[in-house]
Amino acid sequence: MRRRLVPSAWLLPLALLLTACGGNASAGTGTDGQGSVTLDVGDQKGGSEAVLRAAGELKNLNYKIKWSTFTSGPPLLEAVDAGAVDIGGVGNTPPVFAASAGSKISVVAAWHGTSKGDAVLVPTNSRLTVPNQLKGKSIAVAQGSSAHYQLIASLKAAGLGLSDVHVKYLQPADALAAFTSGKVDAWAVWDPYTSQILKAGQGRVLTTGDGITNGLTFQVAAPSALGDPKKAAAVKDYLARLRRAQVWVYGHQQEWAKVWAKDTGLPYDVALASVKRTNSTRVAVAVDRPLVASEQQIADTFTELRLIPKKVDFGAFVDPRFNGDLPPSTTPAKS
């Protein structure tokens, strides 16, 4: 039976969403606040600016924020490395690849959420029912993304390795088209793509990263910005606002879903499902030793698979100065 295609109108908005994969940068400008200090913030569609504005956290700023929008984490981190951006948000895997390249980055803040939205999806009519049946099957995934590691970890939990499957490295829009047209057997991806596929009835979850991956997301800063006392003070205030905004999301899920849907072009029901499954589960946590150890495991995995060229000391790329009295990184996510 021919699989129904996801409406093509959804492809463009979803390609612009907050992701942790590779892709192109698309910079824009805009400022909030006042004062002599300008904080250059890297953002992604429906990301930090949208949630801060929705939560009322862009009021009474004594510094300016200049926003630059990127399609994904890796180009954002390239901008941080180049000093074009002072700080920006990414998932748990792009910093590992940036560190392996010797980029000038510092992880300064973290959030721990569930990994239920990180999933290996199969078409609704697929005969696959358990992960070990993926052996010999084709799987789409964005290289260097959080889904890339989630796929590796999920295969390992099923007694398989990357060599046991046919990996197709595709960016989300291409992977979505390949998945819905039956050109791949499975797709390793994250929310809101997971919610999109499930809401459209185009697929089901074979396995998730819950209990397998660390569920961390980060704010990553340029060491040059942290070395400037005035910008470092602005970073501290900015992070406090982001943490309060995340608390606001947990108590205003429907309101945030409406804002997110409008900002990204997502259907409201998809946005709400993603918020409930993933976005509202995040808890601000400390950049601590368990966090470094968890990220080091990701780095070592990619090194062992020769997907990054050399061993990475992830601890050399963190700065815990903004931890304050935050709980440890092992704090359970909200449910």
pLDDT at 123: 97
Asked if 198 and 315 sit in the same domain, the reply is no
Asked if 175 and 226 sit in the same domain, the reply is no
Asked if 234 and 313 sit in the same domain, the reply is yes
pTM summary value: 0.85
Q: With 80 as the cut, is the pLDDT of residue 87 above it? A: yes
- Percentage above 90 pLDDT, the chain: 68
- Beta sheet of 203-208, edge-to-edge order: 166-169, 138-141, 186-189, 119-123, 203-208
- Binned at pLDDT 50, 70 and 90, residue 174 comes out as very high
* CB of 92 closer than 8 Å to CB of 220: no
pLDDT at 45: 75
Q: With 50 as the cut, is the pLDDT of residue 50 above it? A: yes
pLDDT at 32: 74
Q: With 90 as the cut, is the pLDDT of residue 114 above it? A: no
Range of the domain at 183: 8-12+115-208
Q: With 90 as the cut, is the pLDDT of residue 85 above it? A: yes
Q: With 50 as the cut, is the pLDDT of residue 21 above it? A: no
* CB of 123 closer than 8 Å to CB of 215: no
Asked if 204 and 242 sit in the same domain, the reply is no
Asked if 91 and 125 sit in the same domain, the reply is no
Each residue's pLDDT tens digit, 248-294: 999 999 999 998 888 888 899 988 988 888 878 899 999 999 999 99
- Count the domains in the chain: 2
Average confidence (pLDDT) over 167-185: 94
Residue 300 maps to a domain = yes
Each residue's pLDDT tens digit, 216-242: 999 999 999 999 999 999 999 999 999
